[in-house]
Each structure stands twice: as structure tokens, then as C-alpha cells.
Amino acid sequence: MMTGKWLAPMAMIGLAACGGGGGGSDNTGMPVDQVYVPLADTTATEATDLQFVAITNDGTLARGDAGTLDHDANTVTSGTLRGAINAARTTVTLDGGGTATLTNPDGTDHLRIFRTAGTATDDLFGVVGQVTNTGDLPTTGNPVYRGSVSLTVADGAELYNLDGDVRITADFENSRIRSDFDSFDGTRTDGGTTTSVTDAGTITITNGVLSGTRFTGGSVTTTGEAFELDGGGSTGGTSGQFFGPEGAEIGGVVRVTESGGGRSIFGVYSAD
């Protein structure tokens, strides 16, 4: 499982406004007969185009082209993650300087959690993988995806690092996404004292809007002290993407802040 400590440096900076986002385009230009190759494959002759959804150092949403994975040459050409990737698919040595660390907490084939460090620009924390071709995504049904989430919650000197479970319900017919996050355990640091916390609360994001193979937004409700938002409401939601054949896997980021500032919640999840 991921650890919320991955996110702690970003929490000290805080989130920018949760609207908008980075560059990148949907995958409508991909061929209908797209070949899906597991990222772990080191012998495939097909090249795999990679896309990412991430949070920058200042909490801004970023989407874009991560590059093209040459499986048997162990390289990523062009894109944000351009460089040499090891055979274990855990590290990319970036051509522009720095590294990208890849993890696979939920055993997904076409999706990884990644974090860059030591780059000349804003470092990124998010998900990267082979995006589902729009024509391959179901148009009906309500599949449920289950996986893990890592969150940081920051409010002044108070900081939570939490790991939990995620359940994503897709309503393809109505183009809506529901995200349920719960079973959070981790630590709370305040005034230099760190204590363990269990069952820290829940986050529910309803009515996220699905467009093509990506989704954004939603209405946020929370329970528990760790996720307590003031009466003024919140901004943000979730931003994610479907990966692999027929949208078999899903991943994205969570970005929620109290309206007018204060508590911020952000993290990364993957599920299948």
C-alpha cells in the first residue's frame, strides 16, 4: 500500500486553487484497434503511449503526455518521463535530470503510481499508464473498482498522513463517477508530537463528470475529525482517468480545500 508520507512535502506548501488544470489532451486520437501491453512486459515490440494525472509541488492539477514506453529497449521517449526505465519498472532516470519512482500498490497491469524528484521544474505525484481508448470504454453498466489511496491532510501545524481504501463506481450511461474513501489509518502530527490514528473518517465525492475516458469534479462530503471542513464548504474533488483494455483500471488524484483557505486534503489512488 502507498504511504501518506510520500505526500508530506506537498502538504507543507499547500494547495493552489482547485479549478483548472495542466495540459494534455484526451485520447480520442488513439486507434480503435489499440494494443494494450502490460507495463511490466520487457519483450514486447509494440510501443506504449503513456499519459499522467498528477499534483504539482504547489498542489496544481497537471495532466499530459508522459512519453512512449519502448518495452524491450527499457526507455521512455519524449514526454514528461523521458529517460531510461529499469526492467523492474520501478525507476525512471529522467533525461532532463532527476528521477521518477514507480509503485504498484494494487497490482495493476496498465497503471502505476509515480513521483518525480530532483527535476528542474515542479515535481509531480500522481498516476501514469496506458489510457483506455475512448472507443474501448463501455457505454452502459455500473462497474465498481476497488483499490488503495494515500492522503495528506494539512491545517496549519496539524498534519495527517493516512492510507485507506477507495471504491469507485462508474455510471457509464449517465457519465458520472462516485468515489468513496474510507478505512483510513496513519499518523497525526501537531506541535511536534506524532500519534497514531485509526478509522480517521471518510470522504465521499459524488457526481464527478465523466468525459471521454477522464473524469473531474464532484460534490464532497466528509466525516471524522481528520477531514472536518468548516461550514463554508469546500472546493475541489477528484480528477482521474481510465486505463487498460475496456477501462479495466482507474486512477487519479484527490484535491479538496476548505472554502476561504484552511484545511487541505490531497492524495493519489489506484484501483481495478
Q: Domain range spanning residue 258?
A: 137-271
60 and 31 in a common domain: yes
186 and 68 in a common domain: no
194 and 75 in a common domain: no
- pTM, two decimal places: 0.88
Measuring CA to CA, which residue among 109, 116, 108, 193 is closest to residue 148?
108
150 and 117 in a common domain: no
Instruction: Give the domain-ending residue among 108, 129, 150.
Output: 129
Cell of 243: 486505463
pLDDT tens track, the chain, 272 positions: 555 544 554 544 343 333 333 344 444 444 456 899 999 999 999 999 999 999 998 888 999 999 999 999 999 999 999 999 999 999 999 999 999 999 999 999 999 999 999 998 889 999 999 999 999 999 999 999 999 999 999 998 999 999 999 999 999 999 999 999 999 999 999 988 999 999 999 999 999 999 999 999 999 999 998 998 876 678 889 999 999 999 999 999 999 988 777 889 999 999 99
The number of domains in the chain is 2
123 and 18 in a common domain: yes
